[in-house]
Amino acid sequence: MKTKLLLPFALTGLVSALTACGGESSHINENPYQGVVTSTNGCQASEGGNCQTFALDYPVAGLNFDCSSDTTNHFATAFDAGNIANGGCKVGDRIKFFIQGSQSSRTVNLGFVNLSKIRPEQVISGTKIRIAYLSLLDLATGLTDAEAKSMSMEDNTFKTLVGIIRVLQAVQVSNSNFQSDIQPITLTGALKDKLSTITSDIEAKDFLDGSYVEKLNPWLNISAIDEQAAQAVAKKLIYQANVATYSAGAANTSFLNTDIKGFMAKSQSQANSYSIAEMFLLTTRQGYTLGYATQWNGKPKLQTNDTLSDLASNLLIFQVSPKKFNLNTQDKWLDPLSYKTVKPLELQSPDKAENNISIYQGTLIADTAIPGTQDYYQRLINAKTTGDASIFGKWKQNIDGEQFNDGTVDIIKTDHATYLDKKIFKTKDNVAKGEKYIFPLYATLDVKFDKVAGATSSIAPTKLSIVIDENGDIRTNLATDGKLSSDQCPDIDPVTYKDSNGVQQYRIGTVGTTNTSADKREQSIYIRMLLSSPVFGNLDGVAAGIQPSQSTSLRLNLMNLLQDNVKGGIFILGYRTYIDDSTGKTLVTTVPSWTNPYAKFQHIYNTAEDNTSTQEMKDIALRQSGYFEGNVTLPACYQLKTKI
């Protein structure tokens, strides 16, 4: 049998996470005097060199920062086109954050962040340098010089984080925003110059003993911000930092002189027997993890003169029919503070519980990956330091008595989420009395299947009803008769996840971000969904909007709803961009597509030589890919609500 080894989907992200480049950053000419003068937000990755662009989880422009590699200039964060607050320093810099005007030396010190720990080297995705995400928790950690251990006011770092948030929320509320929400704010020059009214600088100890409230009172009324409300925002930011796509690939190779095992294990009892897998996971804004893995196990059959190696285990993709292991949605996989595994991921065997996969160990490193090997860990931290054994991704499985107890797995994190702008994401908690709000949003998607080349049949379209809740997470809205679509708008019990009709619903995704197009023709939310349960029938295994590429982006255009036009409906769209052609710049919008990795792997097996496929296998392969009809149906029960 002649086979061609293909890079599995998840491995392409891992390759990106290993590529780095170097060079020089731009130099900004500024002259500090009493106070600080800023005119830029630091170096720009687009200019080349070893510049590392960073973004803040709390969208605040005008936040002062200094880069350790530049002893002359001072900078301040600025909003990009998507209203994300960002800046730039050289790779490995130590960044000092603070609030200070140009007319006074009075300062609110907000700590140091060591870029070498957050993003030790540049990570390339395609042709772009991946942005580093910094959090207010990173700033608080820099102030206390201690990692947060708990989300309670007994923890000094969490307490400091709450203090920083109260300062920013005081600015936010003064701009007609609400407590407990996260919205863009700007620390203007005029506002920062008013720091001259305070009598002493604000330091770390002031956040710990609470004296910052009184000391800052001449400048901002911090006491107007409820401490419990600020704690809620702190927790929201911490969970937001963990919202992402997590993927693991089956391939294992030694490219780039790197020991990458992928999602692989050797049998403890059978010579030359392997178990490999491919996995996609999503994490939600409420801290839940969902997804599934596709697995193959057995002894790879080699061609004449071939030698057995770990890489040969990939032949199983062509020689063994894949099995789908669903993850029952769970919370507490990774500790949101330490990023260590707290609760093993239990992937359910389609055969029997004794064959389940348990990913029981691993720590997220550099906000990029859970490494499976020492070599990959050292590449992530850009050093030769030996990592503790508890860091590495480990998994185990018993397959009908055959033990796979020392499996390794590299899990890559991509697709970070951001705050949700209230100009688009309107809820009861972020609009004024008398104003209308959109979420929770009830909608029904029309799902179409692509025709598979060479197939004599295809799958009929189906409908899937969803709810996008006020937190920005997505669940099903299954009907009482078991259908995937419903014309009702029931409430949900957040504990049992049964709706008011007694129907069990399922978490299936989350909102990544909001976006307003430059031409104002579109006001959208970007969504990502992963369906992993037999209850979904032909949609079981569908992944939508989760691959980090333009062609797989999904967004819902809510412009009509924002204009109080429910009858006008909403639309689902693919990626939207401008391309250069003979007529100039042309607007191009891709089809809102979806893929099914499990079905694709089934197709690979079915079409390989010497394999015999059952009718069930052939039917699964028909579900490889498809798209969503552009018009999204809103049920008659859904209406915009007015805050009373």
Range with the poorest average pLDDT among 306-310, 387-391, 573-577 = 306-310
The predicted structure's pLDDT at residue 1 = 38
pLDDT for residue 23 is more than 60: no
Confidence band of 618 (pLDDT split at 50, 70, 90): very high
In this prediction the pTM is: 0.91
Query: How is residue 334 written in tokens?
Result: 């990774």
**Regarding beta strands 411-414 and 369-370, do their DSSP bridges make them parallel or antiparallel, or are they unpaired?**
antiparallel
- Mean pLDDT in residue range 435-446: 98
Cα(10)–Cα(306) distance, integer angstroms: 26
Please indicate, yes or no, if residue 34 is contained in any of the structural domains.
no
Task: Tell whether 84 is covered by a domain.
Answer: yes
Please check whether residue 76 is in contact with residue 30, taking contact to mean a CB–CB distance below 8 angstroms: no
How does residue 149 score in pLDDT terms, banded at 50, 70 and 90?
Answer: very high
pLDDT at 552: 64
3 in any annotated domain: no
Name which of 84-98, 134-148, 303-317, 321-335 the model is least confident about: 303-317
Average pLDDT over residues 260-289: 93
293-306: pLDDT as tens digits? 999 999 998 876 66
Convert the pLDDT of each residue in 384-401 to its tens digit. 888 899 999 999 999 999
pLDDT bin (cut points 50, 70, 90) of residue 198 is: very high
Which residue did the predictor score with more confidence, 271 or 16?
Answer: 271
Looking at residue 578, its pLDDT comes to 60
Question: Residue 4: pLDDT above 70?
Answer: no
Is a pLDDT exceeding 50 seen at residue 369?
Answer: yes
Across the range 483-490, mean pLDDT stands at: 98
| DSSP secondary structure letters along 309-357 | -GGGGGGHHHHS--EEEEEEEEE-SB-TTT-BBSS-EEEEPSS-GGG-E
The predicted model gives 138-162 an average pLDDT of: 98
Domain shared by 406 and 264, yes or no: yes
Cis bond upstream, residue 440 (ω within 30): yes
Query: What is the arithmetic mean of pLDDT over 512-538?
Result: 92
Shared domain check, 401 and 302: yes
Is pLDDT of 3 > 50?
Answer: no
pLDDT higher than 50, residue 604: yes
Considering 396, 415, 434, which residue would you say is the last residue of a domain?
415
455 or 2, greater pLDDT: 455
Residue ranges making up the domain that contains 189: 39-241
- Enter the DSSP assignment of 202: B
Of 211, 241, 271, the residue at which a domain comes to its end is 241
Residue 617 lies in a domain: yes
CB 242 within 8 A of CB 283: yes
Rounded to 5 degrees, φ, ψ at 365 are: -110, 135
Burial class (CB in 10 A: 0-12, 13-18, 19+), 454: exposed
Is 21 a domain residue? no
How does pLDDT run across 456-481, given as a tens digit for each residue? 888 999 999 999 999 999 999 999 99
Q: Confidence class of residue 259 from pLDDT cuts 50, 70 and 90? A: low
DSSP state of 490: -
Task: Please check whether residue 617 is in contact with residue 321, taking contact to mean a CB–CB distance below 8 angstroms.
Answer: yes
Question: Above pLDDT 70, what percent of the chain?
Answer: 88
- The token pair at 198 is 């305070």
Confidence of residue 129 (pLDDT cuts 50, 70, 90): confident
pLDDT class of 217 with cuts at 50, 70, 90 = very high
Which two tokens mark 220? 């901002």
Query: Is 20 inside a domain boundary?
Result: no
What's the confidence (pLDDT) of residue 56? 97
Q: Which residue has the higher pLDDT, 522 or 149?
A: 149
Assigned domain for 307 exists: yes
Q: Are the CB atoms for 352 and 310 separated by under 8 Å? A: no
> Quick check: 270 pLDDT over 60?
yes
| Structural contact between residues 445 and 486, judged by C-beta atoms closer than 8 angstroms | no
- Mean of per-residue pLDDT scores for the chain: 89
Q: What value does the mean pLDDT take over residues 497-521? A: 93
CA–CA distance, 562 with 183 (Å, rounded to integer): 18
Reported as a pLDDT band with limits 50, 70 and 90, residue 6 is very low
The percent of residues above 90 in pLDDT, for the chain, comes to 75
Using H for helix, E for strand and C for coil, what is the string for 402-427? EEEEEEECCEEEECCCCCCCCCCCCC
pLDDT of residue 202: 98
Distance CA 11, CA 1 (A): 24
- Residue 41: both structure tokens together: 């937000």
Handedness of CA 214, 220, 221, 223 (dihedral sign): negative
- Quote the number of domains for the chain: 3
| Domain termination site, one of 219, 241, 263 | 241
Coil, strand, or helix at residue 60?
A: strand
Give the total residue count for the chain: 644
Judge if 203 and 306 occupy the same domain.
no
Residues 6+ apart with CB under 8 A from 467: 440, 441, 442, 443, 474, 475, 476, 477, 492, 505
Position 92 pLDDT exceeds 50: yes
SS3 content of the chain, % helix, strand, coil (to 5): 20, 30, 50
The answer to whether residue 257 scores a pLDDT higher than 90 is no
Look at residue 253 in the predicted model and tell me its pLDDT: 45
355, 269: one domain: yes
Quick check: 22 pLDDT over 90? no
pLDDT at 550 over 60: no
Clarify whether residues 233 and 253 are in a common domain: no
pLDDT for 307 beyond 70:
no
Distance CA 197, CA 103 (A): 11
pLDDT over 90 (residue 274): yes
The reply to whether 187 and 89 lie within a common domain is yes
Strand 124-125 and strand 128-129: the pairing is antiparallel
Integer Cα distance of 404 and 121 in angstroms: 34
Q: Rounded CA gap, 464 and 87, in Å?
A: 41
Whether 224 is in a domain gets the answer yes
Rounded mean pLDDT of 589-594? Answer: 88
pLDDT at 14: 43
pLDDT at 45: 72
What counts of helices (H) and strands (E) characterise the chain? Answer: 13, 38
CA 505-507-511 angle, 5° bins: 135
Torsion from C-alpha of 600, 602, 603, 605, nearest 10 degrees: 130
Say which DSSP state 459 is in: P
Same-domain pairing of 204 and 289: no
Q: Could you tell me the pLDDT band of residue 11, with boundaries at 50, 70 and 90? A: very low
* Same domain for 516 and 444: yes
Above 80 in pLDDT, residue 48? no
From the list 320, 392, 383, 386, the residue with the least C-alpha distance to 361 is 392
Are 458 and 554 contained in the same domain?
A: yes
Residues 525 and 572 in one domain: yes
- Considering the domain architecture, whether residues 57 and 170 belong to the same structural domain is answered as yes
Considering the domain architecture, whether residues 198 and 277 belong to the same structural domain is answered as no
